[in-house]
Amino acid sequence: MKSLTFAFFFSFIPMHLSISTHFASCHCTPEMGWVIVCMLFSLSCVIVDGGVPTTLDGPFKPVTVPLDQSFRGNAVDLTDTDPLVQRTVEGFQPEQISLSLSASHDSVWISWITGEFQIGDNIEPLDPETVASIVQYGRFGRSMRHQATGYSLVYSQLYPFEGLQNYTSGIIHHVRLTGLRPNTLYQYKCGDPSLSGMSDVHYFRTMPASGPKSYPSRIAVVGDLGLTYNTTSTVNHMTSNHPDLILLVGDVSCANLYLTNGTGADCYSCSFPNTPIHETYQPRWDYWGRYMQPLISSVPIMVIEGNHEIEEQAENQTFVAYSSRFAFPSEESGSSSTFYYSFNAGGIHFIMLGAYISYDKSGDQYKWLERDLASVDREVTPWLIATWHAPWYSTYKAHYREAECMRVEMEDLLYKYGVDIVFNGHVHAYERSNRVYNYTLDPCGPVYITVGDGGNREKMAITHADEPGQCPEPSTTPDDYMGGFCAFNFTSGPAEGNFCWDRQPDYSAFRESSFGHGILEVKNETHALWIWHRNQDFYGSAGDEIYIVREPQNCPPIKPEEGAKIFNFKMH
């Protein structure tokens, strides 16, 4: 069994890399008896040697990869008749099962849905009190003698206009498991045993305990996923790379590309300019949950909201599906909102920020961010990674400098506390920056990576703002949702007096229009390997790869006691 598992694992190693492998941390033993679990959760440590550039070699001269005509730039949605999105359970058996992390290794959230959604003119919401929210669990190979109880809810998407079909969800359950051991394989079932409505057995591995030498093996990062045939290619590639954790940086199901009658379009505003409200076809959320269950019932997924999650409805309610369907470690991380929160995964502290809620210095999110950053002990979690949806540093014409107001408010704070990497989506292409701060190359600035290329139905971003005649008018680039306008002509640097550069900017190291996903492998306190995978390649190939290197000796992060002093001084 062991040799078979390792042989299977070796078949996934990118052949163009120079690799040495050791098995000190492997726990795949013959008595475990299940090769799938071994392959997914007990992979060996892989050390990549030589041939891969590091950020210490930079800043790099900007590179633009010419458009590859072999991939489909226009994605096509899975239809509602596709077997991958069909309901396969009966009665109140659980479906759309997913796993997400709490703030630390000893706790996770299990979420699922029971009962069928309803859509139409006459809908009657299910009663959440009629079905219990129970998870039975235990360490792998032992009995599932532990039991946790959570809470349930139903949400509706309602419209105050004739002809639009209303929606109400099945019963959504969220249960938090606590007291878990670090880096340990668990098995679980969820549902309501009194209704003979328990799920099959699923498995997950907890995150390593926080510490400078303790990291998840692989973290997948993807944005703007949607539910297209390009999405399925992305998810298949991502699954083949065996992630321990998935970051989804906004734009999940893209249900808002549809009218409530199920008619969809690549561009909602182009096809449906006269609708009284921006409609959304909520069953696409259920299709997405069903399709993703085989992966995210075992691999935790951490989601942050994107613009496609706004989903306005009656009484100006927004983001209801997003906030209802996922469990967030908001309370555990001191946040009062599902729009922003933080969590640890081994020696990494993740900060998930909301681009569609107030980010002003006087607002709750900014104050929470100050508190959270001030509390981070970089001796325990050396790596500090931030994510939100709309990028600050993107050179594509689509959404160019759209999030400038957020950058103006928050960039100084992230820079002061030494954020190492920022992941964004929104722009449907791939781009990696040099270390940058305030549009200027800076060895202590973060590396910004845009991965809005998961495959949703909207078209791939191809045009760059620095191409002749492609610079957008400043008036076309406000933050429409937050109502801000902060993007003006540059006042210094190579683009002084202009809104766009006349060439690929120095801060842009690499860009390519293609669908794909990224894998982050943090090796130790200072080195993390980032690999971007294109869908049209074999999954082991790299479209872009680099070691991101921290230099705490040259860019010392603020210590918790210093952060606390700064925060307390500002408060008083």
Contact 379, 349 (CB under 8 A): no
124 three-state secondary structure: coil
Give CA–CA dist 435/123, Å, rounded. 52
Q: What share of the chain is helix, strand, coil (3-state, %, to 5)?
A: 20, 25, 55
Query: What is d(CA 137, CA 64) in angstroms, rounded to the nearest whole number?
Result: 49
How many angstroms separate the CA atoms of 524 and 214, rounded? 8
Q: Is pLDDT at 338 greater than 60 in this prediction?
A: yes
User: 155 to each of 36, 88, 319, how far by Cα in Å?
Assistant: 36, 22, 11
Q: With a cut of 50, say whether residue 45 has pLDDT above it.
A: no
Q: Which two three-digit tokens encode residue 395?
A: 């050179």
Q: Does position 191 have pLDDT exceeding 70, yes or no?
A: yes
> Distance (Å, rounded) from C-alpha 366 to C-alpha 189?
39
Asked whether 106 and 206 are in contact (CB, 8 A), the reply is yes
Angstrom distance (rounded) from CA 548 to CA 554 = 15
Buried b (16+ CB within 10 A) or exposed e, 503-516: ebbbbbbbbbbbbb
CB proximity list for 469: less than 8 A, separation 6 or greater: none
The per-residue DSSP string of 178-193 comes to: -SPPTT-EEEEEEEEG
Catalytic positions are: 399
Q: pTM of the entire structure?
A: 0.90
First to last CA, the chain: 62
The mean of the pLDDT values for the chain is: 90
Q: Write down the domain spans for the chain.
A: 53-80+209-249+338-547
Please, where are the H alpha helices in 281-357? Answer: 283-296, 320-325
With cut-offs at 50, 70 and 90, classify the pLDDT of residue 348.
Answer: very high
Q: How confident is the model at residue 565 (pLDDT cuts 50, 70, 90)?
A: low
Task: For residue range 436-471, list pLDDT tens digits in order.
Answer: 999 999 999 999 999 999 999 998 999 999 999 999
* pLDDT at residue 15, as a whole number: 29
Task: Name the residue with tokens 């051991």.
Answer: 181
DSSP 506: T
The arrangement of secondary structure in 53-80+209-249+338-547, i.e. its CATH architecture, is: 4-Layer Sandwich (3.60)
Q: How confident is the model at residue 3 (pLDDT cuts 50, 70, 90)?
A: very low
Q: Is 545 helix (H, G, I), strand (E, B) or coil?
A: strand
| The pLDDT of residue 523 is above 70 | yes
pLDDT exceeds 80 at position 204: yes
476: Cα separation from own chain's centroid: 27
Look up residue 332 and give its DSSP letter.
G
Residue that the structure tokens 């690499």 belong to: 510
Find the mean pLDDT for residues 331-341.
98
Rounded mean pLDDT of 340-346?
98
